[in-house]
Amino acid sequence: MADGKPSITILGGTGALGAGLALRWATAGYPVIIGSRAADRAADAAKALAQRVANSTVSGYGNAEAAAKGDIVVMTVPWENHGPTIDAVKDAVQGKIFVDVTVPLVPPRVSRVHLPPEGSAARTSQILLGENVQVTSAFHNIAAAHLQDMDHAIDSDVLVFGDKKAARDEVLKLVEAAGMKGWHGGPIDNSVVGEALTAMLIHINRNYKIDGAGIRITGTPGGTE
């Protein structure tokens, strides 16, 4: 850890969503490790990010090596790459917090809810990775373009799901570091809510010509579970 901050590996960090999260966390002072199926693409993305964020600690590797190097591993890949990516990093993420940002969208009908037999992408990850991995899920409903614009105040909350409250607490710190408000959403089975909301928000964006609709939780917290 650097200055008490855990290093964060972002699998799929060369994509729009992963790159946006990488930018936010590098700016907040977290060591960032970019992962990609192609190590050279990850290295190129890391170099570009380091040039954009002064005094940042950024590196890039193939997914398996990147996953091994990070304290916390975040997966931001399309649904069709979900299974192969899990297979590639399973051994490297044992004992770690694994944040699954995957939404099971099925083109071309990405504005319709599609859920896997296991119930959600995050539940699928937990089953495939095993109980020694603390799977959480978050950031489903945040527009990638908003993450990549550091001048944009993101007007959307983040729901964080996972069976271990301590793991959710760590992810909530990452949400705050990225400039957003996060909420405990409960156990991993509740991730179906956040994942399904994405398809609905895509529909709202199209129907009302909104540039990245989001969600807000109302009410005044009196404590946490």
pLDDT value of residue 225: 57
pLDDT value of residue 63: 98
pLDDT value of residue 4: 87
Answer whether residue 114 is part of any domain.
Answer: yes
Answer whether residue 129 is part of any domain.
Answer: yes
Answer whether residue 221 is part of any domain.
Answer: no
pLDDT value of residue 75: 98
Rounded to whole angstroms, the Cα distance separating 195 from 197 reads 5
Answer whether residue 44 is part of any domain.
Answer: yes
| Cβ 45 vs Cβ 60: under 8 Å | yes
* Structural domain boundaries enclosing 14: 8-208
Answer whether residue 217 is part of any domain.
Answer: no
pTM of this prediction exceeds 0.85: yes
pLDDT value of residue 2: 55
pLDDT value of residue 222: 86
Answer whether residue 17 is part of any domain.
Answer: yes
Answer whether residue 12 is part of any domain.
Answer: yes
Answer whether residue 216 is part of any domain.
Answer: no
- Total number of domains constituting the chain: 1
Task: State the CATH number of the domain containing residue 56.
Answer: 3.40.50.720
The whole-number mean pLDDT for each consecutive block of 10 residues of the chain, a chain of 225 residues, reads 85 97 98 98 98 97 98 97 98 98 95 96 98 98 95 94 98 98 98 97 96 94 71
In Å, how far are 36, 110, 199 from 105, measured between CA atoms? 20, 5, 7
